Amino acid sequence: MIRWRDPRAPLAAAAATGVAGLAAALVAGAPALATAAVAGGLAALLAAVSLLVASVKMAPQHRTTARWLGSAAVVWLLGVVLRPVAGSSLAVNFSDLLMLVATVLLAGGCVLSAGRQMRPQVVLRQLTDAYLCAAALFLISWAVALRPLYVDVGDSSTFMITLLPALIGLLLTCAVGPVVITARSPLWPLGLAGLAVLAAATIGELAAAVARLGGVEPPRWSLLLAPVAFLLLAALPWSGRRSRIVEAGDEAAKAPTGQVTATLLAAVPLCLVVIAAIAMLLNLKGPPVTGVAVIAVSAVVILVVRVFVLIGATARMRHLVALGERQLRELAESTGDVVLLCDYEGVVREMGAGVEAIYGYQADDLVGGSIFDYIHPEDVPGIQLALRQMDLDDDQAAPGACLIACRVRAADGTWRPTESVATRHVRGQDLLLITTRDISDEEALRNQVAHLTFHDGVTGLPNRSYFEERTREVLEGRQAGRTAVIFLDLDGFTSVNDSVGHASGDYLLGQAARRLRGAVRPDDTLARWGGDEFAVLVETGPEAAQVAVDVAERLVRAVSQEPFRVADRDVALTASVGVAFAEDGLPAGDLIRNADVAMARAKELGGRRVEVFAAHMHADVVRRLELAADLHRALVEEQFAIEYQPVVDLATSRVTAVEALVRWWRGSVFVPPEQFLGPAEDTGLIVPLSEWILREACREVAAWRASSWDIGLSLNLSARQITAPRFVETISEALEESGLPASALTLEVIEEMLVEDAEETISRLSELRALGVRLAIDDFGTGYASLAFLRQLPVDMIKIDPSFVSGLGRDETLALLTRTIVRLGHDLGLIVVAEGIERPEQLELLREMGCTRGQGYLVARPMAARGVDSLMRTNLTSLGS
């Protein structure tokens, strides 16, 4: 709906008035020229006003187009109004010149609507095509209708001058038409309407010229074409496309352009020239007309020149294509690729020279042969299928290129892996351009990477990832009970790395791997699990248990049968082996875990043995893990307590010292020390636990000494505690905080600690001795320490193991050994303490032997700090009575 305040309202009213006036003039039988003047004037006026008003609201870059078209409407308005006054003479008059100017302005507006910036070569080609189209149309018109008129006029000059405005319009229409039709511009609809006005005006001018030459009035339909076109041009800016043309002006119109449209427009001049030539041949009557002959000859000359130009351009394009192909081939061959041309049947048409350097063939010998003669038979069917899919006859939608992987036989008979890219439609023919690359090096590198991914670099054996994957595959395909996993650990291997270095340790692992490989069966999978651990997957038959155990025992013998030669020395090692058997529904991870648990059990039992997994082993491991967690919680929640066992002078029965012993009450349940001290040592919790015992015991004994009680403190050391980073500093700080003299503290170590890592242990203990702390060897006589350690380490005390004391009075041999230890201590100036005194006869014999101190249940049981207070107030006068 159009509102009265809308700018379109006056234009619509004027258009309606013009249409009504035109209809009335036609009905009343008014003269044709007068009717055309009125109708054309009103239509042009509407178009001019509409375009000029609309240009104000257009985007700045679009206003010029509307103003050109509006100016053309104004000039055409003047020309059409002056035409009835100018008369009907054959010569061109002033109104014709105005109409010609309007035609030029219309053409310019149409070109501006396309929004193109064309290169000079494109402009020249457009003009030549336009001239050929216009010339062909004129020649066709000449052959069909204009020749009789020329005969009646008889004057060639007058004839051509009269037709000149129409011919110029025709030329401009042919020149502008392709530009507008193929444009993609927001003003494309406006340009198309301008082209319609230009075409209508050209047809009207041609009809008017023909009527003038014939001395008659032009047909009314020819006079109405231009007004109708101007009315269309006037209405277009205010149509439904207003948002696109007037207000937005930025969204590109979806013009029906494309490659097909451009091709059709390029073919129009040639078709018209052919039709014109046929028409001229059919009407060769009378002498030639100069103007017509000039137009015909010029059209032929331009067409010939155009053909030669096209031939030259085609030759240049072919040269560029050939040059590009040669450069592509040289580039491909410089990178080590082989380039060849073949058809879809695999017949070689051309072969690059690089095939000789890479595969050893002469290029000429391969031309005419089939590529399938050199491709591995297993790869041929897939390649044939790929080539058929690329053939246009089979599938128009097939891809233009495809990647082919296959094996190619070289001249030396070896099969080499290759990757090829096949591209179709080479040179517009049914040929394939194939670029082939030898990827033997890449394939070898890929295989090497895959090997390193699943194999150990030190031993060359499969690694953990491979073993786990292989175990899963075997369990999925075999019955339970016919598969076993063996875990092996080299006992004492850590000391090898520490003594001779990791490089020598790796060399030893390589030797061990070779021995183990010789001990397993060919079908078994031997892998290095990590560190000094190996795993074997035994795929057994019906006698699964016996076969797996036999293999495990052979592994133990293979390791320990003779020493390993490393760094010019012999290294003797043993092995701890665990065996686990698959069960129904047991995952591979659990089977491997069970073998690991059995191996750990064998190691706990001393090594150099085979242990078969039993369910209680896993339960023991779980209990140990739970116990370790409870130990950590107990340390945080202070669930531990300290009891003190008195050490007395056997001669005077006086308490000389107390030994601090840790106790753990897990809730209301007492946990024996032998159940939690081992896990505490394994998990490292023994270090903070021992530090807590040290500080608490030092504080308690210092308080007793402050009450004038001359009493000492004995504490047991663990291996982890000695090797802790701040071991010496921790003891020094505890003594300083509590005020306990260093001479009142005695630290006890067992003989095994002096053997394992003896150098570092003796160094740490010597630092303590320098502080004034006393040292004692606990459980003397049961370990592996030699008497040389008593010389290297300034020990103050030795404690006789309870196993010797328990035999006193019953076993003469143990009594003799005990007497020897007491005498040795006296000779070395050491204090000798007997542990585990439980019977009176033991006490009497120890006194007789000259043992100075003792402890045990007969003397006093371990007790809390309050019990020690009570014991100190008595002099133990009843002891020994």
DSSP string, 667-688: TTEEE-HHHHHHHHHHHTTHHH
Residue 479: predicted pLDDT: 60
* Range with the poorest average pLDDT among 45-54, 136-145, 494-503: 136-145
CA 169 vs CA 147, 199, 202, 572: distances in Å: 20, 8, 5, 112
Q: Percent of the chain scored above 70 by pLDDT? A: 81
Q: Is residue 606 scored above 50 in pLDDT?
A: yes
Higher pLDDT, 290 or 136: 136
Q: In degrees rounded to 5, what are phi and psi of residue 478?
A: -125, 165
Residue 242: predicted pLDDT: 42
Q: Which two tokens stand for residue 545?
A: 């248990």
Residue 537: predicted pLDDT: 94
Average pLDDT rounded to a whole number, residues 549-566: 91
Using DSSP's 3-state secondary structure scheme, residue 435 falls into strand
Read off the pLDDT of residues 66-107 as tens digits, 9 standing for 90 and up.
Answer: 888 888 888 888 877 777 766 555 555 777 788 888 888 888
Q: Is residue 333 scored above 70 in pLDDT?
A: no
Q: Residue 164, by phi and psi: left (phi above 0), alpha (psi -120 to 50) or beta? A: alpha
Read off the pLDDT of residues 629-658 as tens digits, 9 standing for 90 and up.
Answer: 888 888 888 889 999 999 999 988 888 999
Higher pLDDT, 616 or 413: 413
**Rg from Cα positions in the chain:** 57
Nearest CA among 787, 797, 713, 724 for reference residue 754: 787
Q: Is residue 3 scored above 70 in pLDDT?
A: no
Read off the pLDDT of residues 355-366 as tens digits, 9 standing for 90 and up.
Answer: 888 899 998 899
Q: In degrees rounded to 5, what are phi and psi of residue 801?
A: -65, 140
CA 189 vs CA 115, 238, 253, 324, 811: distances in Å: 13, 12, 8, 42, 126
Average pLDDT rounded to a whole number, residues 399-422: 88
* Range with the poorest average pLDDT among 244-248, 472-476, 555-559: 244-248
Interatomic CA distance for residues 629 and 675, integer angstroms: 14
Q: Which two tokens stand for residue 351?
A: 């072969």
236 contact partners, CB below 8 Å, separation of at least 6: 189, 190, 193, 245
Residue 317: predicted pLDDT: 85
Q: Are strands 574-581 and 483-491 parallel, antiparallel or unpaired?
A: antiparallel
Q: Is residue 138 scored above 50 in pLDDT?
A: yes
Average pLDDT rounded to a whole number, residues 688-692: 92
Read off the pLDDT of residues 788-832 as tens digits, 9 standing for 90 and up.
Answer: 566 667 788 999 989 899 888 888 888 899 999 899 889 888 999
Residue 96: predicted pLDDT: 76
Query: What crossing angle do the helices spanning 94-114 and 156-181 adopt, rounded to 10°?
Result: 20
Residue 27: predicted pLDDT: 43
Nearest CA among 440, 461, 441 for reference residue 451: 461
Residue 2: predicted pLDDT: 43
Quickly state the pLDDT bin for 369 (edges 50, 70, 90).
very high
Residue 350: predicted pLDDT: 86
For residues 770 and 743, is the Cβ–Cβ distance under 8 A? no
Residue 556: predicted pLDDT: 93
CA 604 vs CA 28, 571, 597, 598: distances in Å: 129, 22, 11, 10
Residue 785: predicted pLDDT: 55
DSSP summary character for residue 219: P
User: For the chain, how are helix, strand and coil distributed in percent, rounded to 5?
Assistant: 60, 15, 25
Q: Is residue 471 scored above 50 in pLDDT?
A: yes
Residue written as token pair 């509307």: 66
Can you spell out the DSSP letters for 315-356? HHHHHHHHHHHHHHHHHHHHTTEEEEEE-TT-BEEEE-THHH
- Give me the chain's average pLDDT, please: 80
Query: The pTM is what?
Result: 0.48
* Bridge partner list, 538: 484
Residue 264: predicted pLDDT: 52
Interatomic CA distance for residues 617 and 619, integer angstroms: 5
Nearest CA among 132, 152, 128 for reference residue 140: 132
Residue 406: predicted pLDDT: 93
Interatomic CA distance for residues 817 and 410, integer angstroms: 85
Q: Is residue 558 scored above 90 in pLDDT?
A: yes
